[in-house]
Each structure stands twice: as C-alpha cells, then as structure tokens.
C-alpha cells in the first residue's frame, strides 16, 4: 500500500520537478541563475487560482477536452510500473490500452484546438496529428518487439530484457531507449521538435493548440503533458532498473533516471537550434528507423543463432 | 533635372517645374532609384509633385504641377517598379491617381476597406496575424495564403500607428519630436533632422560634434545589430546565442547611457551640434567595453556559424534574389544582403571617410537569412572600427564648441538630408515658405521600401519560418506609418 501511495506521489509531483530541472539546466547553460526547480509547481498553483476566459466561438468540446486529456493520461499511468513494483493494472497487452488511452487524450486536445476556429490552432493541430501518426507505429514496434522477445505481453517484460538476453539485450535496450527518448522530445514538445518557450504562434506545435485555454484548463493541459513525459521516461527507467532490487534502491535509480533525462533534455535545448518544420519529419523518421533496428535485433535473437 | 548634394540647401525656385508627362519621361529616361516622390499643396487646388532620384554622389531633383482639374497621370511603376510604394503614398495623400498602377493598396489609411488577395482551393488556407501581436511588438496585420505549411503569398497591412508626424513636424519642429519618430533609430533620425535645420539656419557644425554624432550613430547600428543577432538566435530556439547577444547589446546601450543619460541616445544630438561632451575617462571606459563586446560577438557568431542545426535554419530561408530586390527597390541592410550596393555612408560620403580612411568593404550576398545574419556581423565589426577611429580623432578637436548657433531659417529653401541608419537610408526633406517657416516636411524610412521585400522573402517558405524572415529584416512599423 505504501509503495502504491509513493508511486502516486511520484506520478503527480515528479513531472513538475522534471520541468523545473529542464528549466534550471537551460538557465545554467545560458549563464543565468534561473528560477527555482519548484517554479512549474508554483505556476500550476497560480493557474488553479485564476479565472477562465472561454472564447464565444467554442462549444462543449473545448470545455471537456482538458478533463479528457488529464483523465486519459492518469488512466494510462495505471498500466505503467513506476518507481517500484507492478503496475496498478497489470494485464496482457496493456501496451495497446496504454497507447490508445494516450491517443484519446491527444484526440481531445486536437479537436479542442480545432473547436476554437483559430487558424493558428488549426495549424498546430494538423502538425501534432501528423507527428502522432508517425510516432505511434514506431512506439508499438519497439515495445511490442521487446515484449515478444520475452513472451510476456505486459510492461514487466521490459525489466528482464537487459539481464536475460546477453549482448542482444544490451543493444536492444540502447535502441529502445533511443526510440523512447526521441518520443519524449516529440510528445513533450521539446527542442528540436518544438520550442516550448517561443511566443511566435506560427512556429508552435503544442503551445499553439492550448492558446485559448486559461486557468484550470491550461493547468490541466500542461500538467498532462508533463505527466506524459514522466510516463515515457518511466519506461526507460524500467528497462534500466535491475529486477529484484530493494524498494529504496529502485526508487533512487528511478529518480536518478528522471533527473538525467531532464538534464539531457535541458542540455539539448541549450546546445542546438530547433529544426526547420520540414526537417522535424525527418527527425521523427529517425525514431522509426531505430524502432526497425529494435525489431530486427529481436528477430535475430529469436530466430537467429 | 537639377543636381543637388545631400545635406545642402537649394532655392525652391531653382527646381525645374515641368508638366507631369515631361517629368514622367525624364524619370524613365534617367532610370534611377527614387529617394523621394511626394506632393505638396501648391495653393488654389494645385498639387506640386517633387521627385528626387539617386545619382550618387549627387541627387537629381525635379517637379511637376498638377492643376486643380488634373486628377490623374500615367503611372511610372509599370516602367520602374520601385516607384510602386511612392505612387501609392502619393495617391493616398493627395488623391491624384496613377493610372494603370498594378496595386493601389492603401499605405497607411482605410485598412478596413481594402480587399486582400485571395487564393481559392481545398488545401488553401489563410492565416491572419495581428494587428495586435503576442509580445511587445508594434501593430501590423499579416495575411498568409498557405497551401499546407507553404506560404504562397503574404500581404502586409500597416498604418496602425499613423500619427501624422510630417504635419506635426511642420507645425512644431523639435529634436524631441524627431527622435520619437522611430525609437530604435533615435540618433539617425535626430541627426537627419538636425542636419536639415543646420542647413536652413546656415550652421557649420564643429568637427568635434560631427565626430560624436558619428560615434553615436555607429553605436546605435552596432547595438541594434547585436540585439537582432540575438533575436534571430531566439527565434530558432538557440538559447545560448539569445543570452550572449542580449547581454552584449546591453553593454553597448549602457555605454550610450553613460554618454547622454539615455540608453537609446535620446537627447544626444541637437540642432547645431551635440548636447554632451565625451570626457577622456568616458572614452577610455567605452573603448574597454567595446573590446569585450567585439570579442564576445565574434566568439558567439563563430560558434553559431559552425553549428549545423543553426545553419540549416539560416541557409536558404527567406531568399530574395538580387533581381527581385532591385525591382522592389530595397534599400539599406536588407538591400545589401541581396547584393544591392547601396549605403548612403559611402554613396554620399562626408569628409570623414577620407580623413579617417573609412572604406567600403565587399560583402558576398546571398539574399537569405544567413546573408542578413552575416551582414549584420560584418557591419558590427565595421561600426566598431569606425567608432575607434572617430574617438581617436576626437582628441584633435578638444577645444571645439559642442553647439554652434545660427541665424533664422532660410526663406524659400529646399533641403534633402540623408543619414544611413542601421536599417538603411533615412531621408528627411524640408521646404520653407517665404516667411522662413517650414511648409512641408517629408520623411522616408528604409522600411517604407523594404516591407515589400519581406513579403517577397516569405514566398514559398514554410509558414513557420516567417518569424525568422521577419526578425532578420526587423523592419520598422512606426517609421513606415509616420
């Protein structure tokens, strides 16, 4: 029970810390002191206290979407083993429910963006939908291959891969992590895919879709987005944490992985420019090609020598 | 056509008066770049049209009178396209229609009545931005005709900041007004205005004041260019560039603060000279700061130019070919970045170019964002070199007066004063009546010519690259709107 509560706390609060660490890293590379790592949480609380402004051109869809988004992300979280122990819902083929629950949330945010009738938001929605359609198969291919290798179609399969499959295991782990990391950059709308700090509507992807949201709605959308990053990072952590370690070691490694991923994202954002929109698609295809590598490694392992 | 010099006075009666047909023929025969094309109310319902063409190092001036019943003429734009914006402005201000003009769109007024170009088709969508924008930029309306992510055409509508500056200038000319026209070119505007007044009042500005003005003008150029390099870095989400250039720009404008009490140089220049002297101590401190600034800018620029992700954003984005740029009549920095050799510092040189050995340096232009980025860097370095030369020379004129007083304004005079601000040529033209009072004041900001260049730059680029094209030009709304 305590473990479950601990996992819940991690799920709800570590996303803010990750966002804070990313910002702090960027400040460090920019030669600035930067805001406290708790700032994203303060911002969240601030938004909760604010009033809504709802555009007259919108319908019910616009008001429901943030709730659908946060609910779907939290529901998807139940299929993911977090810092320690099993997932709340540990079923075979949980992967499919996981991915499509996330997609449901994204669908809600897409139609909510279209609902405002703003040409910016329509453009953002079209970009986001386009990326999603490329990301999804790559994600399935990677995770499903890994699961196929261990013959276990739940997320627990990820944990055994490093230890059970020798050199193949190491290679598969590396490429699967690469796939997941690129997916974090895309889903979390980070540089080089998207620029989370820009004020230029024409260049935005994720930010422009929530341009009309305010107060609680905006808070829920940005929280959901951070949680999504945490969930994908958790998959990476889960592949690294060895089976059979004690609770505290596991939590420690988990938090360390979250921290490292945040620092890495912050460093990437400081050291490179954002891709040109047409090049972003090529970058997304890099993820697909890594996924194919994972698939072929698994095939080689299962049917090869 | 009458030949005159930049920054000098002629009698209004010396300017030829032709019939509009003859004037048109002469303009087409000369086929030179227009610098001024504007009207003046000539009494009894008549309008006098003045034309100024560039014939470096001189200017050609001529005019024509429209009688009260003449309300149109055959447009020049179809022969020399760079007249397009001038003819639109003339039509808007005086109601005389240039016949067969391809695009008589309002320049500053009646934005609501104008119908934008429209593309039709299932994949085509329009994106309208502004006039109120996110962030703290000036108002302007942009309408993109897009096919998916590609922009086919951009229409720009300005004039939301039209304050009637030209009329204000006639009624109540002052340095304070001149430096408030365009807040990022304070020194350039104020110098152009002051030179104008000095000509009318017959003032010979002291060498010391001239040098201090030159130093401040180049500091303004360097500061804005550095800031814009940072803004370009910010737009492509290259944070390091944004922070470093932002910090170094502050050093330059803070030096300006030390010189005259305003970071943007307000109050520095005045009619007859400058308001503030530069003590040896200030100069020494400034030189030290400039050393650091130059080093930081050089390091950061080279880091950026070596970063492949940065270069892939800058190269071949927002390209304007030299041919198109010439047709559209681009001037200043935007024009030079496309390969047009236009820089009023060298086209209409003052005595200092020779005395201090300031020479024009070649630049290999490619017309894209990369070209504008590199040109800015080049101009920053040149500005600092000019600043150093001027500051060293300043020691020779220690005992010169800061401000020289003059007589009353000349009667029936006509003056053109061109100053190369950081965007390009800032043209002030003034006329006085027979009481020695200003009767017409015309201002032309480089943005007036260059906004159309931005529209050309965006064509066939991704809509998400627009901010980059925009920031690399960084055109003025208030300078255009007046």
- pLDDT > 90: percent of chain B: 66
**Angle, CA B294 vertex, CA B293 and CA B295 arms, to 5°:** 90
Say if the Cβ atoms of B466 and A274 lie within 8 Å.
no
Say if the Cβ atoms of A30 and B239 lie within 8 Å.
yes
Whether B286 has a pLDDT exceeding 70, the answer reads yes
- φ, ψ for residue B61, nearest 5 deg: -125, 140
Kindly state the average pLDDT of the residues A1-27: 92
Tokens found for residue A302: 């299962």
* Domains contained in chain B, CATH given: 2-99 (3.30.460.80), 165-446 (1.10.645.10)
Say if the Cβ atoms of A276 and B463 lie within 8 Å.
no
**Angle, CA A286 vertex, CA A282 and CA A291 arms, to 5°:** 145
Provide the pLDDT for residue A86. Answer: 79
The Cα A77–Cα A202 span in angstroms is 32
- Taking the Cβ of residue A200 and every Cβ of chain B, the question of whether any pair is shorter than 8 Å is answered with yes
Written as one string, the DSSP assignment of A57-124 is T--HHHHHHHHHHHHHHHHHHTTS--SSS--SS--TTHHHHHHHHHHHHHHHHHHHHHHT--HHHHHH
Cβ contacts of B462 on chain A, cutoff 8 Å: 276-278
Say if the Cβ atoms of A195 and B465 lie within 8 Å.
no
Whether B447 has a pLDDT exceeding 90, the answer reads yes
Cβ contacts of B129 on chain A, cutoff 8 Å: 201-202
- Taking the Cβ of residue A274 and every Cβ of chain B, the question of whether any pair is shorter than 8 Å is answered with yes
Tokens found for residue A34: 């930067």
As for the ipTM of the complex, it is: 0.86
Give me the total of CB pairs closer than 8 Å, taking one residue from chain A and one from chain B: 84
Cβ contacts of A127 on chain B, cutoff 8 Å: 149
**In residues, how long is chain A?**
305
Instruction: Give the chain B residue whose CA is nearest to the CA of A194.
Output: B237
Tokens found for residue A226: 């951070």
Whether A305 has a pLDDT exceeding 70, the answer reads no
Cβ contacts of A265 on chain B, cutoff 8 Å: none
Provide the pLDDT for residue B228. Answer: 94
Cβ contacts of A279 on chain B, cutoff 8 Å: 312
Instruction: Give the chain A residue whose CA is nearest to the CA of B316.
Output: A276
Instruction: Give the chain B residue whose CA is nearest to the CA of A29.
Output: B240
- Provide the 3-class DSSP secondary structure of residue B214: helix
Give the gap in angstroms from C-alpha A276 to the nearest C-alpha of chain B: 6
Could you report the per-residue pLDDT of B351-363, keeping only the tens digit for each?
A: 888 888 888 888 9
CB count within 10 Å of CB B433 equals 14
Kindly state the average pLDDT of the residues B223-243: 91
Give the gap in angstroms from C-alpha B480 to the nearest C-alpha of chain A: 23
Could you report the per-residue pLDDT of A114-159, keeping only the tens digit for each?
A: 999 888 888 899 999 998 898 999 999 999 998 888 888 888 888 8
Kindly state the average pLDDT of the residues B95-114: 89
Say if the Cβ atoms of B243 and A272 lie within 8 Å.
no
Quote the mean pLDDT of chain A.
90
Whether B134 has a pLDDT exceeding 80, the answer reads no
Kindly state the average pLDDT of the residues B121-136: 84
Cβ contacts of B370 on chain A, cutoff 8 Å: none
Instruction: Give the chain B residue whose CA is nearest to the CA of A205.
Output: B464
Residue B70 burial (CB < 10 Å; 0-12/13-18/19+)? middle
Quote the mean pLDDT of chain B.
91
Say if the Cβ atoms of A276 and B312 lie within 8 Å.
yes
Nearest CB to A120: which of B127, B239, B312?
A: B127
Whether B436 has a pLDDT exceeding 70, the answer reads yes
Nearest CB to B240: which of A120, A202, A270?
A: A270
Instruction: Give the chain A residue whose CA is nearest to the CA of B232.
Output: A273
Nearest CB to B467: which of A203, A272, A275?
A: A203
Nearest CA-CA partner of A101 in A80, A116, A85: A80
Nearest CA-CA partner of B479 in B434, B431, B425, B432: B425
The model's pTM: 0.91
Kindly state the average pLDDT of the residues B419-443: 92
Q: Which residues, at least 6 apart from B303, have a Cβ–Cβ distance to it below 8 Å? A: B240, B241
Nearest CA-CA partner of B114 in B78, B143, B74: B143
Give the gap in angstroms from C-alpha A257 to the nearest C-alpha of chain B: 25
Say if the Cβ atoms of A200 and B235 lie within 8 Å.
yes
Give the gap in angstroms from C-alpha B193 to the nearest C-alpha of chain A: 36
The Cα B481–Cα B158 span in angstroms is 7
- Taking the Cβ of residue A283 and every Cβ of chain B, the question of whether any pair is shorter than 8 Å is answered with no
Asked if residue B414 lies in contact with residue B11, where contact means CB atoms within 8 angstroms, the answer is yes
Nearest CB to A273: which of B125, B129, B237?
A: B237
Cβ contacts of B244 on chain A, cutoff 8 Å: 31
Provide the pLDDT for residue B119. Answer: 87
Residues linked to residue B269 through DSSP beta bridges, in sequence order: B274
Instruction: Give the chain A residue whose CA is nearest to the CA of B130.
Output: A201
- CA B480, distance to chain mean position in Å, is 9
Say if the Cβ atoms of A203 and B464 lie within 8 Å.
yes
Could you report the per-residue pLDDT of A188-238, keeping only the tens digit for each?
A: 888 888 888 888 888 888 888 888 899 999 999 999 999 999 999 999 998
Asked if residue A211 lies in contact with residue A201, where contact means CB atoms within 8 angstroms, the answer is yes
- Taking the Cβ of residue A202 and every Cβ of chain B, the question of whether any pair is shorter than 8 Å is answered with yes
What part of A 91-130 touches B (C-beta under 8 Å)? Answer: 119-120, 122-123, 127
Say if the Cβ atoms of B149 and A202 lie within 8 Å.
no
The Cα A282–Cα A284 span in angstroms is 5
CB count within 10 Å of CB A221 equals 23
Whether A37 has a pLDDT exceeding 90, the answer reads yes
Instruction: Give the chain A residue whose CA is nearest to the CA of B238.
Output: A273
Beta strands in B32-184 (DSSP E): 34-41, 47-55, 58-66, 72-74, 97-99, 124-129, 141-147, 150-157
- Provide the 3-class DSSP secondary structure of residue A130: helix
Kindly state the average pLDDT of the residues B4-32: 90
Nearest CB to B464: which of A29, A122, A202?
A: A202
Could you report the per-residue pLDDT of B144-172, keeping only the tens digit for each?
A: 999 888 999 999 999 999 999 999 999 99
Residue owning tokens 């304007």: B320
| C-alpha separations of B249 from A201, B230, B471 in Å | 26, 9, 16
The Cα A39–Cα A41 span in angstroms is 5
Cβ contacts of A274 on chain B, cutoff 8 Å: 236-238, 309, 313
Cβ contacts of B316 on chain A, cutoff 8 Å: none
Give the gap in angstroms from C-alpha A165 to the nearest C-alpha of chain B: 37
Taking every pair of Cα atoms in chain B, the longest distance, rounded to a whole number of angstroms, is 73
Cβ contacts of B463 on chain A, cutoff 8 Å: 123, 202
What part of A 2-31 touches B (C-beta under 8 Å)? Answer: 26, 29-31
Say if the Cβ atoms of A122 and B125 lie within 8 Å.
yes
Cβ contacts of A276 on chain B, cutoff 8 Å: 312-313, 317, 462, 464-465
Asked if residue B314 lies in contact with residue B368, where contact means CB atoms within 8 angstroms, the answer is yes
Kindly state the average pLDDT of the residues B401-413: 87
Asked if residue B108 lies in contact with residue B158, where contact means CB atoms within 8 angstroms, the answer is yes
Kindly state the average pLDDT of the residues B336-350: 91
Cβ contacts of B242 on chain A, cutoff 8 Å: 30
Say if the Cβ atoms of A201 and B128 lie within 8 Å.
no
What part of A 131-190 touches B (C-beta under 8 Å)? Answer: none
Asked if residue A83 lies in contact with residue A10, where contact means CB atoms within 8 angstroms, the answer is yes
Say if the Cβ atoms of A277 and B307 lie within 8 Å.
no
Could you report the per-residue pLDDT of B178-217, keeping only the tens digit for each?
A: 999 998 999 999 999 999 999 999 899 999 999 999 999 9
- Interface of B to A at Cβ within 8 Å reads 125-129, 134-135, 149, 233, 235-240, 242-244, 247, 307, 309-310, 312-313, 317, 462-467
Of A194, A276, A283, which to mutate for an interface test with B (greatest number of B Cβ within 10 Å)?
Answer: A276
């Amino acid at each position: 029970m305590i473990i479950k509560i601990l996992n819940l706390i991690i799920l709800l609060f570590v996303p803010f810390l990750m966002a804070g660490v990313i910002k702090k890293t960027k400040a460090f590379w920019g030669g600035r002191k930067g805001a406290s790592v708790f700032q994203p949480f303060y911002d969240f609380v601030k938004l909760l206290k604010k009033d809504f402004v709802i555009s007259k051109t919108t319908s019910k869809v616009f008001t429901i979407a943030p709730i659908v988004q946060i609910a779907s992300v939290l529901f998807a979280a139940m299929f993911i083993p977090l810092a320690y122990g099993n997932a709340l819902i540990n079923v075979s083929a949980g992967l499919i429910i996981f991915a499509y629950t996330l997609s449901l949330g994204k669908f809600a945010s897409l139609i909510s963006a279209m609902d405002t009738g703003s040409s910016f938001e329509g453009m953002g929605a079209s970009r986001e939908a386009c990326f999603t359609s490329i990301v999804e198969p790559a994600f399935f291919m990677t995770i499903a291959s890994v699961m196929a290798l261990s013959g276990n179609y739940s997320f627990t399969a990820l944990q055994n891969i490093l230890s059970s499959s020798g050199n193949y295991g190491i290679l598969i782990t590396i490429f699967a992590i690469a796939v997941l990391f690129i997916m974090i950059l895309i889903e979390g709308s980070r540089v080089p895919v998207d620029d989370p700090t820009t004020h230029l509507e024409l260049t935005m992807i994720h930010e422009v879709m929530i341009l009309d949201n305010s107060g609680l709605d905006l808070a829920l959308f940005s929280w959901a987005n951070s949680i999504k990053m945490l969930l994908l990072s958790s998959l990476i952590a889960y592949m690294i944490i060895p089976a059979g370690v004690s609770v505290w070691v596991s939590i420690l490694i988990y938090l360390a992985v979250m921290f490292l991923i945040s620092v890495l994202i912050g460093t990437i954002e400081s050291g490179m420019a954002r891709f040109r929109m047409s090049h972003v698609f090529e970058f997304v295809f890099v993820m697909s090609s890594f996924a194919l590598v994972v698939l072929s490694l698994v095939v080689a392992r299962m049917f090869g020598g | 056509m009458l030949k005159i010099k930049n920054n000098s006075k002629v009698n209004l009666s010396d300017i030829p008066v032709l019939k509009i047909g003859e004037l048109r023929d002469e303009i087409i025969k000369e086929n030179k770049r227009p610098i001024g094309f504007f009207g003046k109310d000539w009494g009894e319902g008549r309008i006098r049209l003045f034309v100024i063409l560039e014939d470096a190092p001189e200017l050609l001036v001529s005019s024509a009178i429209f009688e009260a019943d003449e309300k149109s003429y055959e447009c020049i734009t179809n022969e020399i396209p760079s007249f397009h914006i001038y003819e639109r402005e003339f039509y808007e201000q005086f109601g005389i229609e240039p016949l067969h003009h391809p695009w008589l769109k309002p320049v500053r007024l009646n934005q609501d009545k104008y119908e934008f170009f429209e593309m039709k088709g299932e994949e085509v969508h329009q994106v309208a931005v502004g006039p109120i924008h996110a962030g703290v930029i000036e108002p302007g309306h942009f309408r993109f005709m897009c096919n998916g992510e590609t922009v086919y055409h951009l229409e720009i509508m300005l004039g939301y900041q039209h304050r009637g500056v030209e009329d204000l200038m006639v009624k109540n000319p002052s340095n304070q007004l001149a430096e408030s026209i365009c807040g990022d070119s304070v020194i350039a505007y104020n110098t152009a205005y002051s030179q104008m007044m000095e000509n009318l009042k017959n003032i010979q500005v002291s060498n010391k004041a001239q040098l201090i003005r030159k130093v401040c003008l180049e500091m303004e150029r360097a500061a804005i260019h550095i800031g814009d390099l940072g803004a370009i870095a910010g737009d492509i989400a290259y944070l390091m560039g944004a922070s470093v250039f932002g910090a170094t720009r502050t050093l330059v404008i803070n030096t300006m603060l030390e010189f005259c009490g305003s970071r943007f140089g307000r109050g520095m220049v005045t009619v007859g000279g400058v308001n503030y002297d530069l003590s040896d101590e200030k100069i020494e401190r400034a030189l030290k700061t400039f050393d650091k600034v130059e080093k930081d800018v050089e390091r950061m620029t080279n880091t950026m130019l070596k970063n492949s992700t940065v270069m892939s954003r800058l190269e071949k984005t927002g390209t304007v070919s030299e041919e198109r740029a010439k047709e559209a009549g681009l001037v200043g920095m935007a024009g030079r970045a496309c390969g047009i050799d236009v820089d009023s510092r060298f086209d209409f040189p003052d005595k200092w170019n020779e005395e201090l050995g300031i020479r024009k340096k070649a630049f290999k232009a490619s017309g894209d964002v990369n070209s504008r980025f590199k040109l800015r860097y080049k101009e920053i370095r040149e500005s600092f070199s000019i600043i150093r030369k001027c500051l060293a020379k300043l020691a020779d004129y220690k005992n010169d007066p800061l401000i020289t007083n003059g007589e009353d304004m000349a009667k029936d005079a006509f003056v053109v004063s061109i100053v190369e601000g950081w965007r390009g040529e800032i043209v002030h033209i003034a006329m006085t009546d027979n009481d020695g009072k200003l009767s017409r004041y015309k201002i032309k900001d480089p943005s007036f010519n260059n906004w159309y260049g931005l529209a050309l730059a965006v064509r066939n680029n991704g809509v998400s690259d627009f901010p980059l094209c925009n920031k690399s030009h960084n055109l003025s709304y208030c300078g255009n709107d007046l």
